[in-house]
Homo-oligomer: A and B are copies of this chain.
Amino acid sequence: MKHITIKDVAKKLNCSVSTISRAFNDKYDIRKETRDHILETAKEMGYSPNPMAKSLLKQCSNQIGVVVPEFINAFFPEVIIGIQEVFIKKGYQVLIMQSGESQITELENVKTLENNMVDGMIISLSLETKNVDYYKKLIQQGFPLVFFNRVSNELETSKVLIDDYKWAFFATEHLIYQGYKKIFHFSGPEGLMFTQNRKNGFIDAHRKHKLPIENDSIITAGLMINDGEREMEKLINENNIPEAIFAVNDPTAIGAMKMLKKHGYKIPEDVALVGFTESRLAPLIDPPLTSVAQPTKEIGRTAALLLLEQIESKGIFVPQTVILNGRLNIRESSMKLK
């Protein structure tokens, strides 16, 4: 159970600890033969430097922290894979914490990671976040921070996003091109930037094509399957069935689809559906769901690279916002069959 330390190696080799350290850190002031000899016996003994001691001394940990709202859905895990790809290659470790959509846990997580001396963090905000002030403090201290997807425009940091507005616009336009006229939007919780942007895309696509937007055609639903189910059921009860629905994300679209099928509606013949943030479900459900795919791993990689840049650029540094491209994957759920 006892760990082998640098001292054990020094004792065994009858030399000082500093020499061992030099051997491991490839310093110039050590003879090559000594170095090789040290590395060899160190390996034999199973020694490897203790990262905590190193962190304590260097005041940085070679660790970065990631805080995400959840990893129930595929989105965040995939982003994390992209993040890890970059950092592991660079010899960093990635500590992952989830805040469960709670601002309190989110703040706790951030503080824990801070105490652990992570060299930077990549964060996607929880739904209700009101931790902006704390993040501002961190930013002011020069702590490297990168946000993705769920961001706040009050914070001046690097950000990675996709253009929600643009892709919501395209998705809506796609429905319009198919000839649908009575199109509804199932929207997310107010206050989230992406909710606003997707809604605006929906609206402006209508404007461009000079289609009127009914008063009740934008429905604040939520982000989960049961949100979609609930709102769809309401519409069915009111017998207010649209020709097509553009949903703020896949789960709400899927919820709506479930409810429609349950009541005997055919998709896309009776109602067409488009989702957002393509989930793994999209191509597998019946009918396959049209959705805007986000480049998840790419988001992770980009965020990681931005953070790395900031960490290494000790000091002057200009926050960047990178907007990645999505893709509209058109599938049966939105194809008007003639």
> Chain B interface: which of A90-98, A149-157, A169-177, A320-328?
A90-98
A61 touches B52 (CB 8 A): yes
A98 touches B117 (CB 8 A): no
> Chain B interface: which of A196-204, A278-286, A305-313?
A278-286
The interface residues of chain B lying within 8 Å CB-to-CB of A53 are 56
A115 touches B61 (CB 8 A): no
Give chain A interface residues in 75-121, CB to chain B under 8 Å. 77-78, 80-81, 84, 93-98, 111-112, 115-117
- A254 and B281 CA atoms in complex are apart in Å by 11
- A84 and B112 CA atoms in complex are apart in Å by 14
B98 touches A112 (CB 8 A): no
The interface residues of chain B lying within 8 Å CB-to-CB of A141 are 1
The interface residues of chain B lying within 8 Å CB-to-CB of A15 are none
- Nearest chain B CB to A330 CB, angstrom units: 19
User: Of B52, B117, B143, B281, which one neighbours A280 at CB under 8 angstroms?
Assistant: B281
User: Of B52, B55, B56, B72, which one neighbours A74 at CB under 8 angstroms?
Assistant: B72
- If A52-B55, A52-B61 touch, whether A77 touches B84 (CB-CB below 8 Å) is no
User: Of B1, B61, B72, B143, which one neighbours A77 at CB under 8 angstroms?
Assistant: B72
- Nearest chain B CB to A49 CB, angstrom units: 8
CB of A265 within 8 Å of the partner chain:
no
- Nearest chain B CB to A177 CB, angstrom units: 27
A143 touches B1 (CB 8 A): yes
- If A285-B286, A286-B285 touch, whether A72 touches B61 (CB-CB below 8 Å) is no
User: Of B112, B143, B281, which one neighbours A281 at CB under 8 angstroms?
Assistant: B281
- A71 and B94 CA atoms in complex are apart in Å by 15
CB of A181 within 8 Å of the partner chain:
no
Query: Interface code A236-275, partner B: CB below 8 Å = 1, 0 otherwise?
Result: 0000000000000000001000100100000000000000
Give chain A interface residues in 31-87, CB to chain B under 8 Å. 48, 50-53, 55-56, 59, 61, 71-72, 74, 77-78, 80-81, 84
The interface residues of chain B lying within 8 Å CB-to-CB of A72 are 74, 77-78, 81
A52 touches B117 (CB 8 A): yes
- A116 and B48 CA atoms in complex are apart in Å by 11
Query: Interface code A210-245, partner B: CB below 8 Å = 1, 0 otherwise?
Result: 000000000000000000000000000000000000
CB of A319 within 8 Å of the partner chain:
no
A52 touches B116 (CB 8 A): yes
CB of A179 within 8 Å of the partner chain:
no
- A59 and B3 CA atoms in complex are apart in Å by 9
- A116 and B258 CA atoms in complex are apart in Å by 47
- If A72-B77, A74-B72, A78-B72 touch, whether A284 touches B254 (CB-CB below 8 Å) is yes
List the 5 closest A-B pairs by CB distance, nearest first: A286-B286, A71-B77, A96-B96, A1-B141, A1-B142
Instruction: List chain A positions with a Cβ less than 8 A from chain B.
Output: 1, 3, 48, 50-53, 55-56, 59, 61, 71-72, 74, 77-78, 80-81, 84, 93-98, 111-112, 115-117, 141-143, 254, 258, 261, 280-281, 284-286
Q: List 13 A-B contacts (CB under 8 A).
A: A1-B141, A1-B142, A3-B117, A51-B115, A51-B116, A56-B56, A71-B71, A72-B77, A72-B81, A77-B77, A95-B95, A95-B96, A280-B281
